[in-house]
Amino acid sequence: MARILYELAAEDDARFSPYCWRTRFALAHKRLDAEMRGLGFLEIPQAVGAPHRTVPILDDDGHVVSDSWAIALYLEDKYPGASLWNFGQQALGLYRALDVWANQVLVPAIVPLAVLDIHSRIRPADRAYFRESREKRLGMALEQAAGADPATRVDAVRKLLAPVRDTLVRQQWLGGSSPDYADYIVAGTLQWPRVICRTPLLSPEDPVAQWFERCLDLFDGLGRRMPAAPIAATSAGA
């Protein structure tokens, strides 16, 4: 049976989930091939014959694992070559702390920049579900969450990236001398707005942007092969 990674896919097949990108990078790091199968939001629960609410879902020859962190742990245990942890298993708590920070701090800060672009680009059958579920989660309409001043939202996210920026001033990768899962956590998260948002998040002179460009080139341009979202006219002229 083939190895299959189930991912979120937009109407034009753009793959935009930050969590799925973390897993894509992890698979490439482990030199593991997989078929990348795109799903709409409403297709996720039926993807592998058992109820799942979120992606990524990895089906590795019949062994099914969901959640990007759980998949990373599984891959490290099942395929010990090319470790995802440059600093060793003893530093696993630090990697988990970075994963939680990205999930609970960075992702929510990006959500207002992304929600309307996601809604406009996902499959029509998914739009009512997406609006209802996200508005319930946000406690407001998508348009209200997005606000009228994306520049303020962008500035807030850039400030949140200060610990990443300060680290990258001192070393080439978050993983030290070579990329590891620490890089994939943050790069996967930033790939999400790159692919789906029409408002650019990073300025070219930012060390985070320069590191992210290096991440996009990893594994023969794995990240770069996914086209970036077209920049909105107002953003391009800002």
| Alpha helices (runs of H) in 40-106, residue ranges in sequence order | 68-78, 92-101
Sorted by sequence, the CB contacts under 8 Å of residue 28 that are 6+ apart come out as 218, 219, 222
**pLDDT confidence of residue 233:** 66
In which band, very low, low, confident or very high, does the pLDDT at 235 lie, cut at 50, 70 and 90? low
CATH code for the structural domain at 89-236: 1.20.1050.10
**How would you classify the pairing of strands 63-66 and 57-60?**
antiparallel
Hunting for tokens 């943050």 — which residue is that?
A: 186
**pLDDT confidence of residue 238:** 47
H or E stretch covering 142:
helix 142-146
Hunting for tokens 């990258």 — which residue is that?
A: 168
Query: 194-234 pLDDT, tens per residue?
Result: 999 999 999 999 999 999 999 999 999 999 999 999 987 66
Give the percent of the chain with pLDDT over 70: 97
Sorted by sequence, the CB contacts under 8 Å of residue 150 that are 6+ apart come out as 113, 199, 235
**pLDDT confidence of residue 41:** 97
Three-state secondary-structure class, residue 29: helix
Query: 150-179 pLDDT, tens per residue?
Result: 999 999 999 999 999 999 999 999 999 999
In whole angstroms, what is the distance from residue 227 CA to residue 236 CA? 17
What is the rounded average pLDDT for all residues in the chain? 95
Q: Which of 46, 53, 42, 54 is nearest to 17 (CA)?
A: 54
CATH fold, domain 3-78, is Glutaredoxin (3.40.30)
**pLDDT confidence of residue 237:** 45
Bond from prior residue into 112 cis (ω within 30 degrees of 0)? no
Domains 3-78 and 89-236 equal at CATH topology level: no
**pLDDT confidence of residue 50:** 74
What is the distance between the terminal CA atoms of the chain, rounded to a whole angstrom? Answer: 50
Give me the mean pLDDT over the 101-122 stretch: 97
- Which structure tokens are listed for 135? 């508005």
**pLDDT confidence of residue 148:** 80
**Residue spans per domain, the chain:** 3-78, 89-236
Helices and strands of the chain, counted as H and E runs? 11, 4
- Tell me the sheet residues that pair with 38: 7
**pLDDT confidence of residue 52:** 87
**pLDDT confidence of residue 3:** 96
Query: 21-59 pLDDT, tens per residue?
Result: 999 999 999 999 999 999 999 999 999 987 888 999 999
